[in-house]
Amino acid sequence: MLPEQKNSAQKKVKHVGIIPDGNRRWARQNNMDLEEAYWLAMQKITACAEALFSAGVQSLSVYLLSKDNILRGRDDLQAVLIAETRMLRELIPALKQELGVRAYHAGNPASLDADFRAALDAVCETGNGKNDPFPRLYLLAGYDAYEEVTDARAAIGPDPEQLLGSLSVPVSLDLVIRSGRDQRFSGFLPLQCKYAEFFFEPYFFPDITPARTLEILDEFQNRSRRFGK
């Protein structure tokens, strides 16, 4: 943890999103086995999560697998699933125990590998945690924005005021961090991103550091947020 970096600027950031992109390119660049590279990325995800929650962030959403990602080639997909399943079983429980974090799944469980789904079920709470006072970790796996909105709209009927609270991730994002050099959000929580600030980082995700994520919280304070006004 990095408590010395906790300050008033960081307290104002309630919900952070992370799109951990560039793992395959990093593996090729560093002549590393793909599964090993993904496992390093999982360790970085949990290290950054620990730093952000310790800095006062209330909610963190991490893009693990989109619905389209599941259509990748078998070798690539297997490397991702093995590393992410291991994170769910080894790293997330420690995060929950140390910081009191509650984990929630956002996505279609039917689209996921059975072993991965079992690991998710073991570590995640039911529901979407919208009234949960604890730090919340939203794990997007088998996620598709159209499905999320369609399911939420079916649950609430015609009242648009209730839509956000009925989504898998019921919290508006303040900022989103994307590594890997690409400047797009790839269907990542579009409604929750309505007025989010984006930070597109020029490095691949295994090179990210918890210290950099905390620097971004400070840089966020220099952004002018007008919320459409």
For 3, how many CA atoms within 13 A lie in the half-sphere containing its CB?
0
Mean pLDDT within 94-120: 95
Mean pLDDT within 35-59: 96
Architecture of domain 3-220: 3-Layer(aba) Sandwich (3.40)
Average pLDDT score, the chain: 90
Strand order across the beta sheet in which 136-143 lies: 102-106, 136-143, 59-66, 15-19, 175-178, 197-200
Q: pTM of the predicted model, to two decimals?
A: 0.90
* Nearest by Cα to 61 from 221, 187, 219: 187
b/e per residue 2-25 (b: at least 16 CB within 10 A): beebbeebbeebebbbbbbbbbbe
Identify the residue with better confidence: 125 or 182: 125
Domain boundaries, the chain: 3-220
Band of the pLDDT at 158, cuts 50, 70, 90?
Answer: low
pLDDT at 7 over 70: no
Whole-number percent of the chain with pLDDT over 70:
91
pLDDT at 200 over 70: yes
- The pLDDT, as a whole number, for residue 4 is 41
Structure-derived torsion over alpha carbons of residues 150, 153, 158, 161, reported in degrees to the nearest 10? -130
Whole-number percent of the chain with pLDDT over 90:
75
Band of the pLDDT at 164, cuts 50, 70, 90?
Answer: confident
pLDDT at 71 over 90: no
Helices (H), ranges, the chain:
8-11, 23-29, 34-54, 74-86, 92-99, 114-123, 145-156, 163-166, 210-220
CA gap 29, 53 in Å, rounded:
31
